A and B are shown apart, each in its own frame.
Chain A
Amino acid sequence: MISLTKRFGKVQAVSDLSFTAQPGRVTGFLGPNGSGKTTTLRCLLGLVQPTSGTTQVGGHDYRELPNPAAVVGATLEASGFHPGRTARGHLQVITDAASLPSGRADEVLALVGLTEAAGRKVGGFSLGMRQRLALAAALVGDPGVLILDEPANGLDPEGIAWLRGFLRARADEGRTVLVSSHVLSEVQQTVDDVVIISKGKLVQAGSLGELTGAGISQVRVRTPQLEVLRAALNAEAGSGARVNVVAVSPDEIMVAGLEAAEIGHLALREQVELHELTPVGTDLEALFLELTGGGNPGGAA
């Protein structure tokens, strides 16, 4: 649905980035803060002029769409609300401009669970309510493509769970859903595909399954003799194996790069008492941090 290649800005915010989001799937657009996600989405939506390259939605430049609201619905972090306008008023401004019946405003407010707040001024809304209102605005034209920038920001756990179900349902209806986030775990349970960028460059694009296949399985280890075991693990790492040890608490570590059996064997050899030895499977967050440069954001937004 979206095929996009571009570089942008005096500061190289996005460099030669290409990816596609497919209909019927939720695509997670991931990267640390300042990696260029928002800039990319703004280029896609015609708000920012790319230095070079083109972006397309459903085969068209966004600016050439005759009635964009009916094709693409978008929420952007910095998109604002007039504090003195009611939620319904905010949406009716959009329904008017998009030649939609103004009753559509109440329909989408119901969809996002804001019916009760329809007549209230947005100035008094919480961040979570604003996110819902932004989502309602994106849905006004019943678009086939949803582009949501950090939609989970400011939502409480209940809201996030609701959002997951909501996005899943939209994708199951055959829509294209592109969701950005700087926290993989936030969208991990929702997305089918992932596009990961770092410092404006594409790092990984593919299905979530492909990503987990490339993932690192970890083992949680608890022991009162942590230092002894650590030394042994580090010695193992020194001998060439790719072992990564992260301390969790004074008696607990996460080990990546070794199987549980191997760690157990090592512990036996070193005569270390173990209290726990649990394989925890793929740690996507660790993989994510590794792919994006250890969570150390570089460059400009």
Chain B
Amino acid sequence: MSMVRSEFRKVTTTKVLLWLTIATIAFSALNVVLLVFLTPRAMDLGSDVNLLLDPAYVTNILGAAGSSSIFILILGIIGMTSEYRHMTITSTFLVTPKRPRVLIAKGITYALLGAALGAIAFLTSTVVTLIALSKENHAPVDLTVALQILGGVLLAFAIYAFVGVSVGALIRNQVAAIVGALVWVLIIEALVTVFVDWIGKWLPGGALDAVLQTTNVSGRGGSDILPTAAGVVVLLGYAVLFGILASLITLRRDIT
């Protein structure tokens, strides 16, 4: 518990969390705005169909909260790698020489932060959606579905932040870890999903989408995804797997 408090202190005494919170809010709002004002109009050109009258599409707009997941992954990665970058890992391991405990404390801390950012993202997307739709003709917002989205975002962001911590523990170089994660999520996994989607759903991003249940927003339209519960297990599995690999390989390395 004291270690989790220490991790909270670490993250609240620097600026990273603030910037990533701003990014999360901005990106969620931007996605809502695009979904409300751009996409239906573009679709309108050829036909009279107004997507805003489709309840599924309105649900999808709320799901924009999940679009900022990449910032959550980066938050977790920075949380771990900045210790190596600034060599504060020395004093961290001096206070806690049993190193896997540091990883666990960080995992818990960042999962909580991820959930908090998930709540912020959901709040943003909901408020912006209600404002944006206020002058439009639209299908009603289903409260039950909205709550499901909230639950998905909280859970997905919590686990995803933990994945970030584990990735950061495995790849200690901050730039390499962030670039690697971006390349994986935006390029490699996207390609795999397009060409062999039965593999794609088992990958971290696929599992994330399963937890979020927002395939349309992330562009995974039509491809099949795991059930939510399975997604939770798979995503958590990646976090734990990377964490164990890090404990066996990089975490035990000499600090010089």
Contact of A47 with B94 at beta-carbon distance under 8 Å, contacts A89-B9, A99-B2 already known: yes
Contacting residues, chain A, for B95 (C-beta < 8 A) = 68-69, 94, 97-98
Beta-carbon contact of A86 and B13 below 8 Å: yes
- Binary contact track B85-105/A, C-beta < 8 Å → 1, others 0: 011101111111110000000
Measured CA separation A49–B97 after assembly (Å): 12
Beta-carbon contact of A45 and B14 below 8 Å: no
CB contacts under 8 Å to B, within A71-87, are: 74, 76, 78-86
Which of B51-59, B119-127, B248-256 has 4 or more CB atoms under 8 Å from chain A? B248-256
B97 in complex: contacting residue of A38, A65, A137, CB < 8 Å: A65
Contact of A97 with B97 at beta-carbon distance under 8 Å, contacts A48-B255, A78-B90 already known: no
Contacting residues, chain A, for B255 (C-beta < 8 A) = 42, 47-48
Measured CA separation A82–B88 after assembly (Å): 7
Question: Is A63 interfacial (CB 8 A cutoff)?
Answer: yes
Question: Is A92 interfacial (CB 8 A cutoff)?
Answer: yes
Contacting residues, chain A, for B87 (C-beta < 8 A) = 78-80
Contact of A45 with B9 at beta-carbon distance under 8 Å, contacts A78-B87, A78-B256, A85-B14 already known: no
Beta-carbon contact of B252 and A97 below 8 Å: no
Beta-carbon contact of B98 and A63 below 8 Å: yes
How many residues does chain B have at the interface if contact means C-beta atoms less than 8 Å apart?
27
Contacting residues, chain B, for A39 (C-beta < 8 A) = 256
CB contacts under 8 Å to A, within B132-153, are: none
Measured CA separation A79–B88 after assembly (Å): 6
Question: Is B82 interfacial (CB 8 A cutoff)?
Answer: yes
Closest Cβ neighbor of B90 among chain A residues? A79
CB contacts under 8 Å to A, within B208-256, are: 252, 254-256
Contacting residues, chain A, for B94 (C-beta < 8 A) = 45-47, 68-69, 74, 79
Closest Cβ neighbor of A122 among chain B residues? B86
A93 in complex: contacting residue of B9, B97, B252, CB < 8 Å: B9
Closest Cβ neighbor of A102 among chain B residues? B9
Name, among B3, B5, B6, B90, the residue most crowded by chain A CB atoms within 10 Å (CB to CB). B90
Closest Cβ neighbor of A63 among chain B residues? B97
Question: Is A62 interfacial (CB 8 A cutoff)?
Answer: yes
Question: Is A96 interfacial (CB 8 A cutoff)?
Answer: yes
Closest Cβ neighbor of B95 among chain A residues? A97
Measured CA separation A79–B256 after assembly (Å): 9
Measured CA separation A47–B253 after assembly (Å): 8
How far apart are A10's CB and chain B's nearest CB, in angstroms? 11
Measured CA separation A78–B232 after assembly (Å): 40
Beta-carbon contact of A76 and B90 below 8 Å: yes
Measured CA separation A46–B93 after assembly (Å): 8
Contacting residues, chain B, for A92 (C-beta < 8 A) = 9, 13
Beta-carbon contact of B91 and A48 below 8 Å: no
A79 in complex: contacting residue of B91, B96, B254, CB < 8 Å: B91
Measured CA separation A87–B142 after assembly (Å): 50
Closest Cβ neighbor of A62 among chain B residues? B97
A80 in complex: contacting residue of B90, B97, B98, CB < 8 Å: B90
Closest Cβ neighbor of B98 among chain A residues? A63
Beta-carbon contact of A97 and B82 below 8 Å: no
Measured CA separation A144–B5 after assembly (Å): 25
Beta-carbon contact of B90 and A82 below 8 Å: no
B2 in complex: contacting residue of A76, A83, A98, CB < 8 Å: A98
Contacting residues, chain B, for A85 (C-beta < 8 A) = 10, 13-14
Contacting residues, chain B, for A65 (C-beta < 8 A) = 97
Closest Cβ neighbor of A92 among chain B residues? B9
B82 in complex: contacting residue of A45, A62, A82, A90, CB < 8 Å: A82
Contacting residues, chain A, for B90 (C-beta < 8 A) = 47, 76, 78-80
Beta-carbon contact of B91 and A96 below 8 Å: no
Beta-carbon contact of A97 and B96 below 8 Å: yes
Beta-carbon contact of B13 and A89 below 8 Å: yes
Beta-carbon contact of A80 and B88 below 8 Å: yes
Beta-carbon contact of A48 and B256 below 8 Å: yes
Measured CA separation A94–B9 after assembly (Å): 9
Contacting residues, chain A, for B88 (C-beta < 8 A) = 79-82, 93
- Binary contact track A121-147/B, C-beta < 8 Å → 1, others 0: 000000000000000010000000000
A46 in complex: contacting residue of B15, B97, B256, CB < 8 Å: B97
Name, among A38, A48, A62, A94, the residue most crowded by chain B CB atoms within 10 Å (CB to CB). A94
Contacting residues, chain A, for B98 (C-beta < 8 A) = 63
- Binary contact track A24-43/B, C-beta < 8 Å → 1, others 0: 00000000000000110010
- Can you offer 21 A-B residue contacts whose CB atoms are under 8 A? A38-B256, A46-B94, A47-B254, A63-B98, A68-B95, A68-B97, A69-B95, A79-B90, A79-B94, A80-B90, A82-B10, A82-B88, A83-B86, A90-B13, A92-B9, A93-B10, A93-B88, A93-B91, A97-B92, A97-B96, A137-B91
Residue numbers of B with Cβ under 8 A of A are: 2-3, 5-6, 8-10, 13-15, 82, 86-88, 90-98, 252, 254-256
Other than the given A48-B256, A78-B256, A82-B14, 6 more pairs (CB < 8 A) read: A42-B255, A47-B255, A82-B10, A82-B82, A93-B9, A98-B95
Q: Which 10 A-B pairs have the closest CB atoms?
A: A80-B87, A89-B13, A97-B6, A96-B6, A79-B90, A47-B255, A63-B97, A48-B254, A46-B97, A99-B2
